[in-house]
Amino acid sequence: MRISGFSSGLDIDEIVSNLMKAKRVPLDKLTQKRTTLEWQREQYRDINIKLVDFRNNKLLNYGLESSIGAKQVNITGNTTAVSAKANSGAVAGTMTVEVTTLATAASLTSSSGIGTVDTSKTLSELKTAGTINYTPDGSGNVTFTITNGASSDTITVSESDSLASVVSTINSSDAKVNAFLDSATGMMSLTSKSTGAGSITVTDGPEGFLANFNLTVSTAGADTTGLKINGIATTRSSNTFTENGVEITLNAPTGGTAATLNVVTDADKVVDTIKSFIQDYNNIFDLVNGKLNEERYRKYPPLTADQRAGMKEDEIRLWEEKAKSGLLRRDSSLSKMVSDARLASITNVSVGGTSVELASLGITTGTWEYRGKLVIQDEAKLRAAIEADPDQVMKFFTQQTTETDPTLKVSPTNPDNGLFNRLSNVVMAALNELATKAGTSKYSTDINTAFLPSSTIGDQLTSIDSRLVDWNRRLTLVETRYYKQFTAMETAMNRYSAQAGSLFGASS
């Protein structure tokens, strides 16, 4: 505690505070510089997150064959007996499908039941009521085995379980059957979860639990018969199977009229994929160009603690909006990324010896005010290109380069590389630069991910922190010296006052 001003009548604390304000100016400027660097680093991270998401998620998904090379199946002939869906890698072309009988599932059902039964009651309760009969083992359990072709499981249930619970246990067992119990008749059925040749058998345990349901009516499963694919006789154990990337489902016998499956490019889905890509691409351009061209207000540095204390919340918010503006204006790393992305977009791709340009797909970079954003200028032209040569369109976007030179391989103008891969390389180069400059993650989209310890801004912040510690130490010493000086003044004044009092007292 400092007690001062008794002799002089001066407000020493206020005087020292005012003296220290001038001394704190370098410290305030250093603190403001630190705040500016932190804001700048956070803005880099915001952009970095968008770039990581664009490269690792969006571009990756757009480049999948199921997106940019999507296929669909058109069925003619018998359109009800057969349905089909094109999977990734479906081969364009035509298939005919005929079938006489469908594959069926094996089943085992009761020849007689236990009568009307409340399935919510436990086995013990049903036994006491005389509805079922069994002899539990020493642990109060009953055991039985169900075999379904190559699948088999020995099931143990407790007599404290409900009958409904027993059915549920069977359904989740490795026997791979669906069990059903009719509460009106007390009859049970077991049906294989898959079709195809085979049968279901049961082995009752010594407790005799399954004997209550008389599971004696067996129906063997069967494979398809009379199945022909492109005229070739074959068979399947399931009514759903995949051929040449096409998932085929047999719904009914074709009855002598074949179903013709024509696999073609799904132009609508490919166009939608390209539209989504362009939208995401343009969103990145809007974000980055916005930061590169944002106005910088140098007369609005970060507020000091004293300045904030004298302002209202709205005033602080408006001030900081100006202070944070333009921190990435004309940033070299982001400017290079924008430039390289534009080059990647306008450079032709060599597909099978043919040089394919973006304009041939009805896509342009727009007029100057679009700042390099992509525009579908002629959708009809895009659809026509997809329908005429879907493989060429897909490779324009997704072709993997065979270039071995490490520099040319990642060049935005590498003609052997598809557009998506060029952009992926461009963004990766930017992510590397941002990691070096700001310590951002090249792989994470989590805003809470810590900055890398080693980076240009990180090193600057570390240096500033060290200087701040030094400045605070020096200012503490200066403030202490001021108080010592004023204390000495007060002591002297008090001594002189006492001496004067003694002199006047003596003279009187």
Three-state secondary structure string covering 331-389? CHHHHHHHHHHHHHHHCCEEECCEEECHHHHCEECCCHHHCCCCEECCHHHHHHHHHHC
pLDDT of residue 212: 96
pLDDT of residue 495: 75
Question: Would you put residue 208 in left (φ > 0), alpha (ψ -120 to 50) or beta?
Answer: left
DSSP annotation of 446: -
- Sequence ranges of the domains in the chain: 71-102+224-265, 107-219
Beta strands 215-219 and 107-110, pairing class: antiparallel
Collapsing DSSP to helix, strand or coil, 141 comes out as: strand
Tokens 């058998």 sit on residue: 201
Buried b (16+ CB within 10 A) or exposed e, 453-462: eebebbeebe
pLDDT of residue 476: 82
pLDDT of residue 1: 42
pLDDT of residue 502: 67
State the Cα–Cα distance between residues 263 and 133, nearest whole angstrom.
Answer: 59
Closest residue by Cα to residue 190 from 233, 146, 232, 226: 146
User: Within 13 Å of residue 407, how many CA atoms lie on the same side as its CB?
Assistant: 0
pLDDT digits (tens, 9 = 90+) for 452-500: 989 999 999 999 998 888 888 887 887 778 778 777 777 777 777 666 6
State the Cα–Cα distance between residues 235 and 97, nearest whole angstrom.
Answer: 12
Q: Mean pLDDT for each 10-residue chunk of the chain (508 residues)?
A: 52 71 81 94 97 96 91 95 92 95 98 96 96 96 97 97 97 97 97 97 96 97 97 96 96 96 94 96 94 95 89 94 96 95 94 94 80 90 94 95 94 96 97 96 93 93 90 81 76 72 60
pLDDT of residue 14: 75
> Residue 264's beta-bridge partner residues?
72
Show Cβ contacts of residue 304 under 8 Å, excluding neighbours closer than 6 positions: 28, 31, 32
First to last CA, the chain: 39
- Helix (H) or strand (E) run with residue 106 in it: none
State the Cα–Cα distance between residues 192 and 199, nearest whole angstrom.
Answer: 8
271 touches 362 (CB < 8 A): no
pLDDT of residue 9: 59
> What pTM did the predictor assign?
0.76
pLDDT of residue 475: 78
Buried b (16+ CB within 10 A) or exposed e, 144-157: bebbbbebebebeb
pLDDT of residue 379: 96
Show Cβ contacts of residue 126 under 8 Å, excluding neighbours closer than 6 positions: 117, 132, 163
Closest residue by Cα to residue 265 from 386, 361, 89: 386
Closest residue by Cα to residue 149 from 103, 209, 195: 195
